[in-house]
Amino acid sequence: MNPIAYLLNLPIDLKHVHNIFHILQLRKYVLDPDHAFIIEAIEVTEDLAYEERPVHILDRRIKQMRNKQMPLVKVLWAKHTSS
């Protein structure tokens, strides 16, 4: 690879995912000892589709931009916990 792209060694489960990323897509990770990843099994179909369904709207608000308003909605999705 050239100096502005990275080739990732992905597990066999992710063989259909494009494994080359441009350096501008990456961000530096700041180490946090309390940070832990909870890995959940994801059911992906043969055509790499993943279906997710909304369960409940947790919160709504309007974010005021300079010249417009943007509605924001926090949604609880199936197979996810609220945080």
Position 36 in a domain: yes
**Sequence-separated (6 or more) residues with CB below 8 Å from residue 7:** 1, 19, 20
What local confidence, expressed as pLDDT, does residue 64 receive?
95
- Residue 12 is which amino acid? I
Q: pLDDT class for 61, splitting at 50, 70, 90? A: very high
Provide the domain limits for residue 36: 5-77
| 82 within some domain | no
**pLDDT one-digit tens code per residue, 27-44:** 787 888 888 777 777 778
* pTM for the full predicted model: 0.41
User: Within a domain: residue 11?
Assistant: yes
Question: How many structural domains is the chain composed of?
Answer: 1
Residue 83 within a domain: no
